[in-house]
Structure 1
Amino acid sequence: MFSTENCECGAVIDIPYRGSGPYCYTNCLAMMLGADAPEAAVVETVTGSPFGMQLVGGSLPFFDPWGWNPDIGIADALAVLGWTADTISGDDAGAALDRLASCLVRGPVMIGPVEMGRLRYQPGKTGPIGADHYLVALAMDSEQVTVHDPQGYPYARLPLAEFTTAWRADTLDYGRPYTMRANFTRRSRVDPADAIAASVPRAISWLSGKNGADMPPGSLGNGDAAVALAAHVESDCDEELREHLVHFAVRVGARRLADAAACLRQVGHLAAAAIATEQARLIGSLQYPLVTGDDAAAGDILRALALTYDELRVSLERQS
């Protein structure tokens, strides 16, 4: 019989995470950059996504910075990695399809944000759910678009009408209709470590919590967001909030912080890496209590997490 009396294996072993997860725009960027793409961990880190937390409108949590969204992160990542791309959007579906057809002659095209709930090749998706997603378009004919969907659907096909409805993105809280990125061009060769180091000032800026001027009323960032979410979870964690946390926010939040820790360690920010690792562990540990309904335990974890955002900012500032 197993006994815990002499068990001293409670310390968490620290190795990089490898596996599935909702890294849609990062994996799309990696596909577009091709053989020259750095590891997904580097791409995600230099988008800035790991460096903060936001509670949008006081109710919708994301483990990414206050005022941040993937469009901002994609632009930042391309710049620091030495790449450019043409970002094109517009209000007319027919014109958008014409532009897509023209760009596909030259190569793949990054599509998004799109409304994930309208991608009906994904099981269970029957209508809008307010979830953003990104795809890589590979081909188009008079009836269908063929895409690589990084959610786990290579060479998926979608009828044009359904594709354009998803691409309109009118159920999302950021982005313009029919946005695509094409003509990816490498302007300079940037070592991944140099890109990570160059992104640190931007990470500090995100952690400062000064970038949320355009957020909806009631929005909170970083420690304030974590404390408010703790109270919300403990008092009224409805099904919609719980599903959002356990299927998306916790999974991506823990992974991106684990990746950020590895990247920070690579460039000598050892103290900051240790804090990011602790953040990853705290967020990852939310999964079980949230799934099983132990909301008091989840609240305690979130309050512990709240203390770490200023710690991470101060640590990065000291070494910069």
Structure 2
Amino acid sequence: MNAYIGNGAYCYANSAAMMLAAKGETIEPGLLEVVSGFSLGAHLIPSGLLFFDNCSETPDSGITRAMELLGFRVQHRVQEEGTALPLYELREALDQGPVMLGPLDMGKLVYNPNHNNLGGCDHYVLALEIREHEVWLHDPAGFPYVCLTLEQLNEAWKGGVFPWSPGAYRFWSGPERVEQLDVKELHQRVLSWFRETMQNQYQTKAAESGRTGKQAILHKANQIRDGAIDMDEWSHYVYFALPVGARRAHDYGSFFKNNHGQLSGLKYKQSRQFGECQSRLAARHWQAAADAMEALAETEAAIEEALLQL
């Protein structure tokens, strides 16, 4: 399988990797993304939008779990909605090193020239320092050393936008290695987590109503075949869900390569299917896109079965 090196919507994994790098720890974003377990599974949200991730977890819980599984202790803090910007706490955390912030509303990140078109999209960044009335950031979406006023930061970070991330002003800081794991120990620990998170998905309300896994993907394939998606939904798939799904599946394939050949092969296969589906859908070849998504559904079912048997 050919390696993929390039851009991808890995905002929380990239931000966490940068935070760890500031402490002298080199952890690849792809490993953080995989170990989080968040991008296992598929589900339809109530509006009918399909996401290729686990509805029993969130990026917030996933990245915290990933760092714990990799042997790090990290401070994870969140405020209640409606409270004031925790400026003292942020300054105090920044005295110890860079701080990961999120989720932020991308529509409020005014240094991004396309921010007006990104309202309601969640994002994670790395805060570097506060100078007077501005905070300086590394934004992994392609914007190193950018700044926001504290008022602009407050607007982007104050919460209330993403129902899956309760509270406001969530941040991670002060990572510290507390365990040094060998490859075998890490894989055993992570495989146990994957099985648990997949079992958890089956216990959600989405699973009870047939909105997870193979059934969710087949439902969307049928809608695509009938031309029953609008351009906003089309954009969600061709710009985000399918390309990031392809990259995630490829990284899972690499992770499983030396310890679980069946899952590695299935994930590499799924990565190719994500890419094909994105290509067909971007070209508005609806029937071919639906065929590719149906194939993706079958592979998802095989992956779930293999994970549950670990």
Same fold (TM over 0.5): yes
Contact 1:46 1:195 in 2 (8 A): no
Alignment-mate amino acid for residue 145 of structure 1: V
- State the Cα distance separating 1:106 from its structure 2 match: 1.5
Provide the residue aligned with 2:256 in structure 1.
264
Query: For 1:248 and 1:82, how far apart are their aligned partners in 2?
Result: 30
Return the match for 1:177 from 161, 168, 181: 168
Task: Decide whether aligned partners of structure 1 residues 58 and 126 sit closer, same or farther in structure 2, where only a CA change above 3 A counts.
Answer: closer
Alignment-mate amino acid for residue 54 of structure 1: H
- 1:91-240 alignment runs, 5 A limit: 91-92=81-82, 94-126=84-116, 129-175=119-165, 176-192=167-183, 194-208=185-199, 210-211=201-202, 213=204, 220-234=211-225, 235-240=227-232
Contact 2:223 2:229 in 1 (8 A): yes
Query: For 1:173 and 1:303, how far apart are their aligned partners in 2?
Result: 30
- Residues 261-286 of structure 1: CA distance to partner in whole angstroms, max 9, x if unpaired? 000013x2001100111111111111
Q: TM-score, normalised to structure 1's length?
A: 0.88
Provide the residue aligned with 1:71 in structure 2.
60
Q: Whose relative contact order is higher, 1 or 2, with alpha carbons under 8 Å and at least 6 apart?
A: 1
Return the match for 2:288 from 267, 291, 297: 297
User: Which structure 1 segments of 5+ residues have no match?
Assistant: 1-13
Query: For 1:124 and 1:309, how far apart are their aligned partners in 2?
Result: 34
Alignment-mate amino acid for residue 49 of structure 1: F
Instruction: Verify: 1:44 aligned to 2:33, yes or no.
Output: yes
Contact 1:82 1:186 in 2 (8 A): yes
Secondary structure of the residue that 2:116 maps to in structure 1? coil
Deviates more, 1:174-183 or 1:57-66: 57-66
- State the Cα distance separating 1:188 from its structure 2 match: 0.7
Q: TM-score, normalised to structure 2's length?
A: 0.91
Query: For 1:112 and 1:219, how far apart are their aligned partners in 2?
Result: 30
- 1:26-41 alignment runs, 5 A limit: 26-34=13-21, 35-41=24-30
Return the match for 2:7 from 15, 20, 41: 20
Task: Decide whether aligned partners of structure 1 residues 245 and 57 sit closer, same or farther in structure 2, where only a CA change above 3 A counts.
Answer: same
- Residues 63-115 of structure 1: CA distance to partner in whole angstroms, max 9, x if unpaired? 11232210121122012101111111113554412211121112111101111
Counting matched residue pairs gives: 305
- State the Cα distance separating 1:197 from its structure 2 match: 3.4
Instruction: Verify: 1:249 aligned to 2:241, yes or no.
Output: yes
Identity of aligned residues (%): 29
Instruction: Verify: 1:280 aligned to 2:271, yes or no.
Output: yes
Return the match for 2:303 from 312, 316, 320: 312
- Residues 106-164 of structure 1: CA distance to partner in whole angstroms, max 9, x if unpaired? 21111011111211111211276221110110011332110010111111111211111
- State the Cα distance separating 1:204 from its structure 2 match: 2.5
Contact 2:85 2:158 in 1 (8 A): no
Contact 1:204 1:316 in 2 (8 A): yes
User: Which structure 2 segments of 5+ residues have no match?
Assistant: none
How large is the Cα RMSD of the aligned pairs? 2.1
Deviates more, 1:59-68 or 1:156-165: 59-68
Contact 2:43 2:206 in 1 (8 A): no
Secondary structure of the residue that 1:126 maps to in structure 2? helix
